[in-house]
Amino acid sequence: MTGAAPEAGQGPRGRRPGPTETRAAILDAARALFGDKGYDGASVRAVARAAGVDPALVHHFYGGKQGLFVAAMRFPVDPAEVLARFATADRAAFPETMARTFLEFWDDPDRRAPILALFRSAMTNERAAAMMREFVTAALLERVAEGQGVPLERVQAAAAQLVGMAVLRYVLRVEPMASLGRDELVALLAPALRAHFG
């Protein structure tokens, strides 16, 4: 769940570790292809070909396209981690879980700066916006829509409530929203999220 890469020098594991150079070649190829083709347009197969490795090795290292994207782009939030939290949430308390999870990521000092940098880049750069749109839609929003049994635009409206809160709280820093405690904010936002998930 921590997303940390295995440390060098930990000795042999059950699975054969790839050399550092192979991982680096895969991540370089992935960055180039995601940057060039976007998230939807790049494939594990094309990345493997560009890196000169077997696609099975990319799957072995990164679990698939989503994990490869998170690792290559140093994406500060792993959708697999978010979905794991959502999966264990009480269905009736899903709005509270969604708000709390979002706030915990933004309030984490190790993640705040990279999330903010990524968000600013998507706000001002069309290529970064397209990559964020494609990745977040495929890896998170469509899966929440499926899991909650609601149309995609309702999940987008709920995401918009949280994204707008982040703009006001963390970027524009309007008071009192910037200083509210996490529990107060969850209580403030959950009724609106509930209106979307109904």
Q: Summarize as ranges the residues that interact with a second copy (CB under 8 A).
A: 119-120, 122-124, 129, 132-133, 137, 141, 152-154, 156-157, 159-165, 167-168, 171-174, 176-177, 180, 188-189, 191-196
CA–CA gap between residue 22 and residue 79 (Å, rounded)? 25
45 or 182: whose CB is closer to a second copy? 182
5 or 152: whose CB is closer to a second copy? 152
Q: How far is the CB of 35 from a second copy (least distance, A)?
A: 17
45 or 173: whose CB is closer to a second copy? 173
CA–CA gap between residue 50 and residue 48 (Å, rounded)? 5
Q: How far is the CB of 144 from a second copy (least distance, A)?
A: 13
Q: How far is the CB of 97 from a second copy (least distance, A)?
A: 17
Query: Which tokens go with 147?
Result: 């899991």
56 or 160: whose CB is closer to a second copy? 160
Closest CA to 191 of 77, 96, 89, 70: 96
Q: How far is the CB of 60 from a second copy (least distance, A)?
A: 32
3 or 151: whose CB is closer to a second copy? 151
84 or 113: whose CB is closer to a second copy? 113
CA–CA gap between residue 194 and residue 189 (Å, rounded)? 9
Measure Cα distances from 23 to 4, 38, 40, 76, 166 in Å: 14, 21, 22, 19, 34
Q: How far is the CB of 73 from a second copy (least distance, A)?
A: 16
